Each structure stands twice: as C-alpha cells, then as structure tokens.
Structure 1
Amino acid sequence: MSNEGVDGGRRRFLTAATSVVGAAGAAAVVWPFLASLKPSAKALAAGAPVEADIAKLEEGQQVTFVWQGLNIWVLRRSKDMLDSLPKVTPRLADPKSEASTQPEYCKNEHRSIKPEFLIMNGKCTHLGCSPKLTPDHPDPTVDANWEGGYYCHCHGSKYDLSGRVFQGQPAPLNMLVPPHRYASDSLVIIGEDQKA
C-alpha cells in the first residue's frame, strides 16, 4: 500500500483534534462525579466552629449550643458549685481526666479554661443518653452524699459538676470536653482549640 498523496500535516491535525475532543468528552463525563465528592455547604457548616455568646449566662444556668451535630453544654458555675468539686474527688473514677483523650486545659479539677464555665458534650459516655443537670444538694433521690452534678436516668450514671464520672458507674469515662477557646470574655469558639 502506498502512502503517496497522503497529507501528513492534515493527518497529525486530525489526530490531535480527535484527541482533544476525546479528552474534553472524558472530562465532561468525569466532572460531575468529581464534583459530587466535594462536601456540600451544609456539611462544611456542620463541622465549622460555633460562636457561643455567654455574656448573659447567669450563675447556675446552663445553655446548649450545637456543634457537629452534638449538644454542647455551657454551664456557668457558682462559687458553691466550684466549692463542691474537691469534696467528691475521692469518689471519682478519673478525677484528672487521664483515661480518655481530652484537651490539656480540661485535665484539672474544674475541667475548663475558666473555672466558672464548664463546656462539655451533653452525652453520657455509657450509651449516649443525655444526663440531667441536678445541682441541688443534698438530694437523696440521686445519692445520700450528693453534692450536685449530672445524673443519667437511662442507667443511673452519676457525674460531678465538672462532668467527671463517679466510681462504680455504668459510664466508663468522664463526659467529653470539646476543643474550644475564648475569643473574648463573653465569646467562646467551640470547635477551635485554644492554641488555634
């Protein structure tokens, strides 16, 4: 077979043009699939930090903020509440929060950056129920030596006013403290670590 009369330049042009059109067609097919892998704006917002204004929070009051689908409690503790913490320390399973991964700033008696504000995930570490803040003491319906804290009605787990679990409870760990930092005296950023 003879290649006489064949235009080599035209052949190269047609080969290149076909390759470009084929690549564009492949990109048009693949692009929607790749775009579907990108998280939606709603998903990005669900993981974003949350600003919590705590300026109007009164002593003994607890409010809930939602971060990453979790109920995050902010409790403003009174002096009486803070004074109860050392009284229960000998009865706690993990008084310094060493048994679970927690931010360093919660590995203290009050488990917080600022002692008067407790910020933690409002979920029992046993099976995920929501313990109830039971600040009154004494309260023989909870415990004969109750100094106030959180009581989980699902299976009876008890936590102090820092979310530390008492010994011998169904719950294996202290309630979790999310990463957070103070942007000002009255504004907490939940979801960003103090060092961020």
Structure 2
Amino acid sequence: MEVDISGIKPGEMQVFEWRGKPVWIMKRTPEQLKGLEHTASEVADPESLKPYTMDLPDYCKNKSNNRGHVGHEETLVLVGICPHLGCSPSSKFTPGAQASLPDDWQGGFLCPCHGSTFDLAGRVFKNKPAPNNLDVPRYMYLSDTKIVIGKDEKGEA
C-alpha cells in the first residue's frame, strides 16, 4: 500500500488501514526522539528482540533503538494493535502527568483495555499486560514523502 506522508507534520500521526489493521505513521519531533532516551530503561524490550507477530525489520534496528527507518528516524510506522488482547491503543503524545499515566510520561500510547503503555517507539513499558512491543511492518521509502507499507527491498510482508 502506497502512502503519501508529506502532510504529516512533526508531532502528528495519521492512521491508515493495511490488511484490515490500523497502521500509524507519526513524525516525531526532536524532543520526542530525545524522550526515548529517558524511556529506554523503563521498557520491557528496549532492543525489540521479542517480536509480536512480525520481526523488526533490519533497517529499523539502530543504535538509539528508536525503531525508525535508517535515514528517517523521525518517522515511526507501527501496527496499532496491542499485543495483549488486540485492542487499539490511544495516542497520548503530551508529556507530563495525566490520568492513567506516570508523572514522568514522555509521550506515547495507552491501551484503554488493560492499561498497557508504549513509548514513542512502540515499546511496551515493564510490568504491563502487553507481552511485546507494537509491531513495525515492513515498509520502504519511494521518496522522502512516499512510502510503501507491507513491502521492502526483501519483498512482501
């Protein structure tokens, strides 16, 4: 599925449907990317070694573990389905204390079903019902403003 991401502004997310699943594409701000340094010690699988339904594509494995495509680290592509019971988490991008979130919240996602929280790389926090991070589907850039979801240089997902 080809997607135009030119209209997504920093700090915003758009939802697309791929194979009947919500796919979130977010452009993270420099501050949001920096916040991932803070959450690295608080997430259960910071290097995404335990996949949910899809292995993390090699091009999203990077030194900072932000799960963004090499060369486009600000852009986050996730399947928006919680690995606990299949609910769709809500975006909670505003940092700081909020209901159902920790006081030092850096921004991320909250699953309304059982309270699992995920950072802005889709990594689940420790001691939450979700057993794994959110999936990153295969994708590739056709240009700086267009990506294909479900396909990369290695083929179809």
Does 1:110 pair with 2:69? no
More helix, by proportion: 1
Q: CA deviation at 1:158?
A: 0.4
Return closer, same or farther for 1:55/1:121 CA change in 2, 3 Å cut-off: same
Task: Show the counterpart of 1:5.
Answer: none
Q: Deviations over 1:14-34 (max 9, x none)?
A: xxxxxxxxxxxxxxxxxxxxx
1:152 matched to which residue of 2? 111
Structure-1 residue corresponding to 2:78: 120
Which residue of structure 2 aligns with residue 129 of structure 1? 87
| Letter of the structure 2 residue corresponding to residue 95 of structure 1 | P
Give the Cα–Cα distance (whole angstroms) in 2 for the partners of residues 194 and 72 of structure 1: 20
Alpha-carbon distance, 1:106 to partner: 2.4
Q: What secondary structure, in the 3-state scheme, does the structure 2 residue paired with 1:184 have?
A: coil
- Is the CA contact 1:138–1:147 (under 8 Å) kept in the aligned structure 2? yes
Q: Decide which moves more: 131-140 or 115-124.
A: 131-140
- Which residue in the other structure is 1:143 paired with? 102
Alignment-mate amino acid for residue 78 of structure 1 = T
Structure 1 distance, partners of 2:74, 2:10, is 8
Task: Report whether the alignment pairs 1:84 with 2:35.
Answer: yes
CA contact (8 A) 1:182 1:194 kept: no
Mark the structure with the bigger radius of gyration. Answer: 1
Match of 1:73, SS state, is strand
Q: Could you tell me the percent identity over the aligned residues?
A: 39
Gapped runs of 5+ residues in structure 1?
A: 1-49
The CA RMSD over aligned residues, in Å, is 1.1
Q: TM-score, normalised by structure 1?
A: 0.72
C-alpha displacement of 1:137: 1.1
Shift of 1:177: 0.4
The corresponding residue for 2:147 is: 188
Shift of 1:107: 2.7
Identify the range of structure 1 (182-191 vs 94-103) with the bigger mean alpha-carbon deviation: 94-103
* Alignment partners' CA distance in 1, 2:139 and 2:79: 12
- List structure 1 segments (4+ residues) > 4 angstroms apart after TM superposition: none
Shift of 1:105: 2.0
Report which structure shows greater RCO (CA 8 Å, sep ≥6).
Answer: 2
What amino acid maps onto 2:10 in structure 1?
Answer: E
Count of aligned pairs: 147
Unaligned runs of 5+ in 2: none
